[in-house]
Chains A and B, each alone.
Chain A
Amino acid sequence: MNPIPSFRGFFGFIFAIFLFTWLGFVVFPWLEIGHLPPIQDEGSTDIAPWDSSGEAHAGERIYAADGCVYCHTQQVRPESSGADIVRGWGTAKDADGKEVTRRSYPRDYIWQGQTFLGNTRSGADLSNVGERFPDAAKLYSYLYDPYILNGHSSMPEFRFLFVTQKISGQVSQDALVLTPADAPPAGYEVVPTAQARALVAYLLSLKKGYHLKPDEAGIPYVPPSTKS
């Protein structure tokens, strides 16, 4: 039996099937979550989600280029899907210092130039890493040598994001505080490059301490003004 009785008909069918997949998988979700606007956080004048600085956006490029996404996710699943919430990956503090623990919603990602959902958890989820590491110095030393802070870490060292330079005059403000094993020779210091600064600014910006309720973050979107 001829598998392709008519070339045009064959392509017509193929096209229709691909279109079905495309519509169902890409266009339909896009109609639902492709144009989510920010909303006003309840009980404050803040806009949710929070936007981040220009340097943080520059850090997305470093995050992409050095492949952080191949070990780290940036999505917190609901409790019904896994233990993400139990691990504390969904916890961050809001503007008043109260803890917000929740899953990720599509609206969380609307300001991001590039979104790194990730598919592998060889490392921890980074959705709220800015909350767990509020201090840039700690992140720098973690990137330089993860063993300083975490003896079990399987993360590679990112020493190429730092330079060892001769101390001229005073020690630089952001010079790394290192263990004797890692310390540079006397008279030298280890300082982050512009790339490391951008990456750390990006990581620090990753915290989702604002309130999103399922009905606001999910679909369909109901603007706050139309709610009673």
Chain B
Amino acid sequence: MATLFPTTVAPRGFVSTDPELAAIDASVRWPVLVCLLSAVHWMVVGTFLLVYASSLMHPQDAFPILGWFVDLSDNFSMFTYGRVYPAAIDCLVYGWASTAGLGLTIWLLARTSRNPAHSPAALMTAVVFWNLGVAIGLTGIFMGDSNGVELLEFPAYASWLLWFAYAVLALWAIATYLCRRAGNDHIAQAWILVALFAFPWLYGAGSTLLDNRLVPAAGGDVAHESWVGSLPGSGVMQGVIDAWYVHGIYTLWLAPLGLALLYYLIPKVSGLSMRYGSYAQVAFWTWIIFAPWTAVHDLVGGPVPAETVSIGLFLSGLIFIPVALIGISLISTAFSAEHTVGHHGGVVFPFLVLSSVAFVVTGACEQILSIRGAADLLRFTMFRECNTLLWIYGFFSFIVFGSMYYIVPRLLDFGWRSAMLVRIHYYTSLYGILLVIAMLGFGGVMQGRQLEYPDVQVTINSVNDVCISYYIAATMCVSLVAVGNGVFAFHLGWMLIDWLRLRVRGNRLAAEILMEPYEGDIPAAKSEEVTA
């Protein structure tokens, strides 16, 4: 593993030697940086909330020091598990993953389209509104305005802020794509466009049809006689639409954004062209046809039409086709690039490889749930949370980390401060997510075996007694991930402060800050011209 990371990171020399790319990076610098910084902020908040929520799932005796968490949750409605857990997941999905995804999308579209950003002020406004929406939505959940609908907990007064921000960003993105320099086409653009198109459909349908203000609480006659009752979002259909929404967010919003970055960055950093590149389009179309049907995993055995479940299990069972095609392409390119990546590539590349592997593992989990017997066994267990965390922490976080290690130095022309911190971040995240899979995945199987054991003697209490050790392990895994995330946030902050000091106090400090020697003098932009 000695070659995995360089011992030092280059302090300078990141701006692309291609003046055009340098100009594009400069044009999007502030919106992208603000996006990424706020995303990292939400990541820290969300991860902390998740550790807190997770620690409420088991007796506190294991961690006596956390005993005051329980006092908080018992006595203050704000801190009860049922508010903190959805707040944590929403914070990670909308605050961390989506904000980072949007920021990276701005950068990636401007680059692949060879089109410097116009009106960065509009982008900046949108980013601010998006963050405001997330902040107000989270406050709403803590204050008890949650809808109780998974991933749509944000109250309506927060949703419209997200809507406004999204509309500005998406229109900007599509305009940037349409006004691209002729001939600059990239599969990453297709993935981004499909995500940009999926989000308004998902969020629009989800937030209007499942807003509990539109479904009269009086129920009964009102629900059936008013026009509202004729909307799909009543009765058991609410559960169906929510399943469609939740899995749509993972498979049609986060996954395409992440894959766009992988398809762009792996060839870019390694200097190789994508192996099995001809599969990319087949993988793209099969993914968007089959992947959203994974929603049916939340309906198996439920009070829904049996045909929907059967068709859905069949279609989602074909998800192995795109997963295999994408996985073969990304991972074989990544492995064959091992000897060509050096320099800063040594910081970026491990995260890209990890993200590619995590994508395949996540796809395999979805594939397992497409088997009816497995879904029956696992659907109410912690295996589902394992799947959620794999999407967020396993697949998406790693690609964002890799992208940020690549992009931020190019936006600032300033290097990361410490290879040691990158290494700590890498290994804590890696072992954190491995343990999540091991503990929540295996724990899910054990919990399912207990839950579905056909014996009257088995009660929910005896099931939970079996699960306690897995819940404790889950808290430890998430804490490990939290340490990695914290190290990353600290490193980013350190880098920005040094960068600011350098800007403010001029080159007199340069010698002090840039004391670390350059590792080789390989031009950073060696591989810039190879693709794109």
**Distance of A117 Cα from B239 Cα, bound (Å):** 6
B-side contacts of A11, CB under 8 Å: 193, 197
Q: Determine how close the nearest CB of chain B comes to the CB of A23; give it in whole angstroms.
A: 11
**Distance of A109 Cα from B236 Cα, bound (Å):** 6
**Distance of A77 Cα from B438 Cα, bound (Å):** 28
Are A64 and B218 neighbours in the complex by a CB distance under 8 Å? no
A-side contacts of B238, CB under 8 Å: 114-115, 117
Q: For the complex, is A58 an interface residue (Cβ under 8 Å from B)?
A: yes
**Distance of A125 Cα from B144 Cα, bound (Å):** 23
Interface string of A1-21 (1 = CB under 8 A from B): 111100100110111011011
Contacts A32-B305, A33-B236; is A113 near B217 (CB within 8 Å)?
Answer: yes
Contacts A14-B194, A111-B220; is A67 near B459 (CB within 8 Å)?
Answer: no
**Distance of A29 Cα from B311 Cα, bound (Å):** 12
Q: For the complex, is A133 an interface residue (Cβ under 8 Å from B)?
A: no
Are A26 and B244 neighbours in the complex by a CB distance under 8 Å? yes
**Distance of A58 Cα from B145 Cα, bound (Å):** 13
**Distance of A22 Cα from B289 Cα, bound (Å):** 11
From A15, A60, A114, residue with most partner B Cβ within 10 Å: A114
Contacts A117-B302, A119-B380; is A33 near B148 (CB within 8 Å)?
Answer: no
In the complex, chain A residues 143-166 whose Cβ is within 8 Å of any chain B Cβ? 150, 152-154, 156-161
Q: Determine how close the nearest CB of chain A comes to the CB of B109; give it in whole angstroms.
A: 13
From A25, A57, A109, residue with most partner B Cβ within 10 Å: A25
Residue of B57, B75, B85, B311 near A159 (CB, 8 A) is B75
Interface string of B56-98 (1 = CB under 8 A from A): 1111000000000010011111001111011000000000000
**Distance of A72 Cα from B205 Cα, bound (Å):** 25
Are A115 and B77 neighbours in the complex by a CB distance under 8 Å? no
Q: Determine how close the nearest CB of chain A comes to the CB of B439; give it in whole angstroms.
A: 15
Are B303 and A29 neighbours in the complex by a CB distance under 8 Å? no
Q: For the complex, is B519 an interface residue (Cβ under 8 Å from A)?
A: no
**Distance of A51 Cα from B224 Cα, bound (Å):** 13
Q: Determine how close the nearest CB of chain A comes to the CB of B332; give it in whole angstroms.
A: 19
**Distance of A54 Cα from B219 Cα, bound (Å):** 9
Are B376 and A81 neighbours in the complex by a CB distance under 8 Å? yes
Q: For the complex, is B336 an interface residue (Cβ under 8 Å from A)?
A: no
**Distance of A78 Cα from B301 Cα, bound (Å):** 7
Are A81 and B81 neighbours in the complex by a CB distance under 8 Å? no
Q: Determine how close the nearest CB of chain A comes to the CB of B32; give it in whole angstroms.
A: 23
Are A65 and B198 neighbours in the complex by a CB distance under 8 Å? no
Contacts A60-B217, A123-B460; is A103 near B75 (CB within 8 Å)?
Answer: no
Are A75 and B241 neighbours in the complex by a CB distance under 8 Å? no
**Distance of A188 Cα from B85 Cα, bound (Å):** 33
In the complex, chain A residues 36-87 whose Cβ is within 8 Å of any chain B Cβ? 36-37, 51-52, 54, 57-58, 60-61, 63-71, 73, 75, 77-78, 81-83, 86-87
A-side contacts of B296, CB under 8 Å: 25
Residue of B236, B307, B452 near A115 (CB, 8 A) is B236
Q: Determine how close the nearest CB of chain B comes to the CB of A90; give it in whole angstroms.
A: 12
Q: Determine how close the nearest CB of chain B comes to the CB of A144; give it in whole angstroms.
A: 9
Residue of B150, B187, B190, B232 near A34 (CB, 8 A) is B232
Q: For the complex, is B504 an interface residue (Cβ under 8 Å from A)?
A: no
Residue of A20, A67, A111 near B86 (CB, 8 A) is A67
Q: For the complex, is B363 an interface residue (Cβ under 8 Å from A)?
A: no
Are B75 and A160 neighbours in the complex by a CB distance under 8 Å? yes
Q: For the complex, is A116 an interface residue (Cβ under 8 Å from B)?
A: yes
Are A21 and B292 neighbours in the complex by a CB distance under 8 Å? yes
Contacts A24-B308, A115-B235, A121-B451; is A3 near B186 (CB within 8 Å)?
Answer: yes
Residue of B215, B301, B308, B461 near A152 (CB, 8 A) is B461
A-side contacts of B465, CB under 8 Å: 152
Q: For the complex, is B20 an interface residue (Cβ under 8 Å from A)?
A: no
A-side contacts of B223, CB under 8 Å: 110-111, 113
Q: For the complex, is A106 an interface residue (Cβ under 8 Å from B)?
A: yes
Chain B's interface size range is 35 or more
Contacts A66-B144, A86-B455; is A156 near B74 (CB within 8 Å)?
Answer: yes
**Distance of A3 Cα from B82 Cα, bound (Å):** 44
Are B146 and A120 neighbours in the complex by a CB distance under 8 Å? no
User: Which of B34-42, B43-51, B280-288, B423-431 is found at the contact surface with chain A?
Assistant: B280-288
Are A160 and B77 neighbours in the complex by a CB distance under 8 Å? yes
Are A109 and B303 neighbours in the complex by a CB distance under 8 Å? yes
Query: Closest A-chain residue to B296, C-beta based?
Result: A25
Are B80 and A158 neighbours in the complex by a CB distance under 8 Å? yes
Are B82 and A70 neighbours in the complex by a CB distance under 8 Å? yes
Residue of A22, A34, A81 near B300 (CB, 8 A) is A81
Q: For the complex, is B356 an interface residue (Cβ under 8 Å from A)?
A: no
Residue of A105, A116, A160 near B148 (CB, 8 A) is A116
Are B147 and A64 neighbours in the complex by a CB distance under 8 Å? yes
Interface string of A103-147 (1 = CB under 8 A from B): 111101111111111111111100000000000000000000000
Q: For the complex, is A219 an interface residue (Cβ under 8 Å from B)?
A: yes
**Distance of A108 Cα from B463 Cα, bound (Å):** 27
**Distance of A75 Cα from B85 Cα, bound (Å):** 22
B-side contacts of A78, CB under 8 Å: 301
A-side contacts of B377, CB under 8 Å: 82
Are A156 and B148 neighbours in the complex by a CB distance under 8 Å? no
Q: Determine how close the nearest CB of chain B comes to the CB of A114; give it in whole angstroms.
A: 5
Are A113 and B303 neighbours in the complex by a CB distance under 8 Å? no
In the complex, chain B residues 273-300 whose Cβ is within 8 Å of any chain A Cβ? 278, 280-281, 284-285, 288-289, 292-293, 295-296, 298, 300
A interface residue numbers (CB < 8 A to B): 1-4, 7, 10-11, 13-15, 17-18, 20-22, 24-30, 32-37, 51-52, 54, 57-58, 60-61, 63-71, 73, 75, 77-78, 81-83, 86-88, 103-106, 108-124, 150, 152-154, 156-161, 218-219
9 A-B pairs in the complex with CB atoms less than 8 angstroms apart: A24-B311, A25-B240, A75-B303, A83-B455, A110-B223, A115-B235, A158-B74, A159-B75, A160-B80
B interface residue numbers (CB < 8 A to A): 56-59, 70, 73-77, 80-83, 85-86, 144-150, 178, 185-187, 189-190, 193-194, 197-198, 201, 205, 212, 215-220, 223-224, 230, 232, 234-241, 244, 278, 280-281, 284-285, 288-289, 292-293, 295-296, 298, 300-305, 307-308, 311-312, 376-377, 379-382, 384-385, 451-456, 458-465, 467-468
The 5 A-B pairs with the shortest beta carbon distances in the complex, nearest first, are: A67-B82, A64-B148, A81-B301, A77-B301, A117-B239
Kindly list 6 other residue pairs between chains A and B, CB separation below 8 angstroms, not including A11-B193, A51-B220, A115-B234.
Answer: A15-B197, A22-B244, A34-B234, A65-B83, A69-B82, A120-B382
